[in-house]
Amino acid sequence: MAAQSDYVIVGAGSAGCALAYRLTEAGRTVTLIEYGGSDFGIFIQMPGALSYPMSMPRYDWGFSTAPEQHLGGRRLVTPRGKVLGGSSSINGMVFVRGNRKDFDHWERAGATGWGYAHVLPYFRRMETWHGGRSPWRGTGGPLHVTRGKRRNPLFNAFIEAGQQAGWPRNEDYNGPYQEGFGPMEATIWKGRRWSAANAYLRPARKSGRLTVIRALAHRVVFEDNRACGVEIEAAGRTSIVRAGSEVILSASSINTPKLLMLSGIGPADHLRDHGIAVRADRPGVGANLQDHLEIYMQYKSLKPVSLYTYYNLLGKSRVGVEWLLQKTGLGASNQFESCGFIRSDDAVDYPDIQYHFLPLAVRYDGKAAAQGHGFQAHVGPMRSKSRGTVRLTSPDPGLSPEIHFNYMSHEDDWKEFRACVRLTRRIFDQPAFAEYRGDEIQPGADVQSDDQIDAFIREHAESAYHPCGTARLGAADDPDAVVDPELRVIGVQGLRVADSSVFPRITNGNLNAPSIMTGEKAADHILGRQMMADDLAALEAAE
């Protein structure tokens, strides 16, 4: 039996690292269980190499979906970080808080104390923003948030085209308003990926109050109805890591529901089917699974200004050498340096489409590039109504769960994606792109009708790698909620969840920032502190 700490956290990812840091900062002892290994290495630390780690078994759990019925039976990859820093060590480093109305929706859905006024102080506490001074932004947090230099003319062409198409320019989509086109922000600092491991885990280790154990978590251990530890397997041996106060699961929206179910917390019939004794019948465990889908709208470039110049062995070597020697150059950027958030229709309350612009026509995983200079926009709807599930395939902790997003199962998803295609064409047809815009590579100029666009989506839509929602926040008397507003698992004691599993509904944008915020806020709940809240009217008046 391993030595006892005050708290045991499962998962050294975005939320888990932030939580471990804040608990040790408060003088508590923490044991952090992580199955993955070191994040040291060029493929993780160099921002420009982002396409590599998410497809490397050393760093990625290697999950994929069940055949998705509405996407032609395709199995889509679902990368999750199996490494210190979790998915913050293999993601695209894009920093998006989400829209303020996302969090107000959470609160209306039963997540009391999780409205925008309550989460904004934690967003500010966690960041050091390098974009100037703003009452909406933080300047003293562990997480550095920066912007690319936008030296490639295509970045600014995209922002200008968005304005020409009728949307505003927005200098800070993480500030008071999200809608518009402008610079994209990233968790990059001094040319390095500034993951949760770099921002939070390394400082926490220096405190002497954090123990990191590399092991596979099997299940939560209980005495009576109170969580008292975690059963782990390391080097072929099974043991129990004990918690003096509480156990917190921060293992991702895939592995957290899996661990809950292996521990007897979940849909009773499903647990019994796998021979697992039911400790708490919570049908919401593994339900409510959500994600962002996206397509790549690609164009040939009439001028040789794209990153295709470097998309060869010699070019990549030059980029890598410059980064290794100086932490500068193309390797110091994730190349997502401009973006947009728009509404698909004027009747929509707030932005429901997101753009990542890239000055290269290539797949996100780097496996296929257009033959020649080009550029693309990653585009997709933000608030899909489709819901999926994570379910056990076996009571064996070493086996992956079944992941079924049920993508595109709601008719509104198709309408929103068609709008994405047509609105993107409108943007690229603006004068700002006249000197660069060649033929449309995909979907292709001949893809025009609803049926043709739907066929393209069915064949080419890919996950943006933003799974969430499988242990959702809600009122303690909500039968479908898994955790209460203080992140305590309903039906047991001494167990909480702090990661993207708890999101009632997916937020607008990439999920790393709200996941870290969840870890920050969870720490104050656990420590019994007065929760922070902002006077939004005063902030607006200060603008």
The residues annotated as belonging to the active site are 466
For 132-158, the three-class secondary structure string (H helix, E strand, C coil) is CCCCCCCECCCEEEEECCCCCHHHHHH
Instruction: Render 145-212 in DSSP notation, one character per residue.
Output: EEE----SHHHHHHHHHHHHTTPPB-S-TTSS---EEEE-EESEETTEE--HIIIIIHHHHHTT-EEE
Identify the DSSP state of 388. Answer: B
| Helix residue ranges per DSSP H, 380-440 | 411-428
């200079």: which residue's tokens? 373
Residue 219, φ and ψ in degrees, nearest 5? -170, 165
Identify the DSSP state of 37. Answer: B
Q: Which amino acid is at 75?
A: R
Please say whether the beta carbons of 436 and 322 come within 8 A: no
Work out the number of other CB atoms within 10 angstroms of the CB of residue 345: 11
Distances (CA, A) of 496 to 45, 357, 388, 458, 483: 31, 37, 23, 38, 7
Identify the DSSP state of 532. Answer: P
Q: Which of 359, 397, 356 has its CA nearest to residue 379?
A: 356
Rounded CA-CA distance 37/35 in Å is 7
Helices (H) and strands (E) in the chain, counts: 14, 25
